[in-house]
Amino acid sequence: MMVRRKASRTASGRAVVNLDILLRPSSIAIIGASSDPTRIGGRPIQSLIESGYQGAIYPINPTRNEIQGIKAYPNIRDVPAPVDTVIIALPQDKVIAEIEHCAAKGVRAVVVFTAGFAEHGETGKAKQNRLTEIAAQSGMRIVGPNCLGAFNADAGVWLTFTAAKQPREHKGFRFALASQSGGFGSHILKLANLRGISIRQFLTTGNECDVECGEAIRYFAQDPSVDGIIAYVEGLRTSEAFLEGLAIARANKKPIVLAKVGRTERGAAAARSHTASLAGSDAIYDVVFREFGVHRAVTIEELLDVSYAIEKRKVPANNKVAILTSSGGAGIQSADFAVENGLELPAPSASVRQDMLALVPYASTGNPIDVTAQLTNEPDLLGKFNSIVLRSGEYGAVYNFIGMMAGSPAIAQKLLDSMSKAAIEFPKVPQFISVTCPPEITAAYEKAGFLVYEDPARAMKALGALVKFANVFAAPVPAPKMAQIAAPKLAAGLKFNEATAKETLARYGVLSPPERLVATPEQAGQAAQQIGFPVAIKVASADILHKTEIGGVALNIDSEGSASAAVSQMQREIPALVPNAVIDGYLVTSMIRGGVECILGSRNDPVFGPIIMFGLGGVFVELMKDITFRRVPVSEEEANKMIREVRGFSLLAGYRGKPAADVDALVRAICGLSVFANHNRDVLESVEINPLVVLPKGQGAFALDAVVETMTPTK
CB-based contact 653:646 (threshold 8 Å):
no
Q: Where are the beta strands (DSSP E) in 234-329?
A: 256-260, 295-296, 321-325
Stretch binding its own copies (CB under 8 A), from 43-51, 104-112, 263-271, 414-422: 263-271
Question: What residues numbered 220-259 form the site for its own copies, per CB under 8 A?
Answer: 232, 234, 259
Q: Which is nearer to its own copies, 278 or 332 (CB)?
A: 332
Pick from 96, 261, 518, 540 the residue near its own copies by CB under 8 A: 261
State the amino acid at position 163 in one-letter form.
A
For position 139 contacting its own copies by CB under 8 A, the verdict is no
**What is the sign of the dihedral through the CA atoms of 205, 207, 211 and 215?**
positive
> In 532-596, which ranges are continuous DSSP H helix?
560-577
- Find the shortest distance in angstroms from Cβ 20 to its own copies: 27
For position 326 contacting its own copies by CB under 8 A, the verdict is yes
Question: What angle (nearest 5°) sits at the alpha carbon of residue 308, between those of residues 302 and 309?
Answer: 95
Pick from 457, 482, 553, 581 the residue near its own copies by CB under 8 A: 457
For position 455 contacting its own copies by CB under 8 A, the verdict is yes
Pick from 200, 314, 353, 458 the residue near its own copies by CB under 8 A: 458
- Find the shortest distance in angstroms from Cβ 56 to its own copies: 30
CB-based contact 238:3 (threshold 8 Å):
yes
Pairing of strands 199-204, 175-179: parallel
For position 624 contacting its own copies by CB under 8 A, the verdict is yes
Question: What residues numbered 506-565 form the site for its own copies, per CB under 8 A?
Answer: none
For position 368 contacting its own copies by CB under 8 A, the verdict is yes
Question: What residues numbered 94-123 form the site for its own copies, per CB under 8 A?
Answer: 115-116, 119-120
The residues, ordered by sequence, that sit 6+ positions from 655 with a Cβ below 8 Å of its Cβ are none
Q: Where are the beta strands (DSSP E) in 65-123?
A: 66-67, 70-71, 85-88, 109-112
Distances from the Cα of 4 to the Cαs of 45, 225, 681, 682, in angstroms? 36, 30, 12, 10
Stretch binding its own copies (CB under 8 A), from 190-198, 559-567, 585-593, 679-687: 190-198
Torsion angles phi and psi, residue 442, rounded to 5: -55, -45
For position 152 contacting its own copies by CB under 8 A, the verdict is no
Pick from 171, 266, 546, 593 the residue near its own copies by CB under 8 A: 266
For position 70 contacting its own copies by CB under 8 A, the verdict is no
CA 292 to chain centre: 8
Q: Which is nearer to its own copies, 179 or 386 (CB)?
A: 179
Pick from 152, 160, 275, 690 the residue near its own copies by CB under 8 A: 275
Q: Where are the beta strands (DSSP E) in 392-533?
A: 397-403, 431-435, 451-453, 515-518
- Find the shortest distance in angstroms from Cβ 261 to its own copies: 4
Pick from 180, 201, 386, 690 the residue near its own copies by CB under 8 A: 180
DSSP states of 388-403? HHHHHT--SEEEEEEE
Nearest to 327 by CA among 357, 358, 378, 369: 369
Stretch binding its own copies (CB under 8 A), from 19-27, 75-83, 366-374, 555-563: 366-374
- Number of residues engaging its own copies in binding (CB under 8 A): 77
Pick from 650, 698, 712, 713 the residue near its own copies by CB under 8 A: 650
Distances from the Cα of 149 to the Cαs of 6, 134, 156, 208, 273, in angstroms? 21, 19, 14, 12, 21
For position 648 contacting its own copies by CB under 8 A, the verdict is yes
Q: Give the Cα separation of 63 and 45 in Å (integer).
A: 17
Question: What residues numbered 397-416 form the site for its own copies, per CB under 8 A?
Answer: 403-404, 410
For position 264 contacting its own copies by CB under 8 A, the verdict is yes
Inter-axis angle of helices 213-222 and 240-251, to 10 degrees? 20
Nearest to 258 by CA among 319, 195, 313, 180: 180
For position 362 contacting its own copies by CB under 8 A, the verdict is yes
Pick from 15, 350, 623, 714 the residue near its own copies by CB under 8 A: 623
For position 61 contacting its own copies by CB under 8 A, the verdict is no
Stretch binding its own copies (CB under 8 A), from 93-101, 135-143, 266-274, 310-318: 266-274
Pick from 181, 201, 541, 590 the residue near its own copies by CB under 8 A: 181
For position 267 contacting its own copies by CB under 8 A, the verdict is yes
Q: Where are the beta strands (DSSP E) in 89-239?
A: 109-112, 141-143, 150-152, 157-159, 175-179, 199-204, 228-233
Question: What residues numbered 302-321 form the site for its own copies, per CB under 8 A?
Answer: none
Element (H, E) at 555: strand 553-557
Pick from 34, 186, 387, 678 the residue near its own copies by CB under 8 A: 186
Q: Where are the beta strands (DSSP E) in 114-227?
A: 141-143, 150-152, 157-159, 175-179, 199-204
Distances from the Cα of 312 to the Cαs of 120, 225, 513, in angstroms? 43, 17, 58
Stretch binding its own copies (CB under 8 A), from 98-106, 383-391, 615-623, 670-678: 615-623
Pick from 243, 324, 338, 444 the residue near its own copies by CB under 8 A: 338
- Find the shortest distance in angstroms from Cβ 571 to its own copies: 26
For position 190 contacting its own copies by CB under 8 A, the verdict is yes
Interface characters, 558-577, with its own copies (x: CB under 8 A): --------------------
State the amino acid at position 593 in one-letter form.
R
Pick from 184, 289, 473, 533 the residue near its own copies by CB under 8 A: 184
Torsion angles phi and psi, residue 364, rounded to 5: -85, 120
Stretch binding its own copies (CB under 8 A), from 8-16, 53-61, 577-585, 619-627: 619-627
Q: Give the Cα separation of 629 and 646 in Å (integer).
A: 10
Pick from 2, 104, 126, 298 the residue near its own copies by CB under 8 A: 298
For position 336 contacting its own copies by CB under 8 A, the verdict is yes
Across the strands, what pairs with 260?
Answer: 233
For position 332 contacting its own copies by CB under 8 A, the verdict is yes
Element (H, E) at 488: none
Stretch binding its own copies (CB under 8 A), from 418-426, 498-506, 527-535, 647-655: 647-655
For position 431 contacting its own copies by CB under 8 A, the verdict is no
Q: Give the Cα separation of 246 and 470 in Å (integer).
A: 16
For position 274 contacting its own copies by CB under 8 A, the verdict is yes
- Find the shortest distance in angstroms from Cβ 119 to its own copies: 8
Pick from 299, 354, 556, 712 the residue near its own copies by CB under 8 A: 299
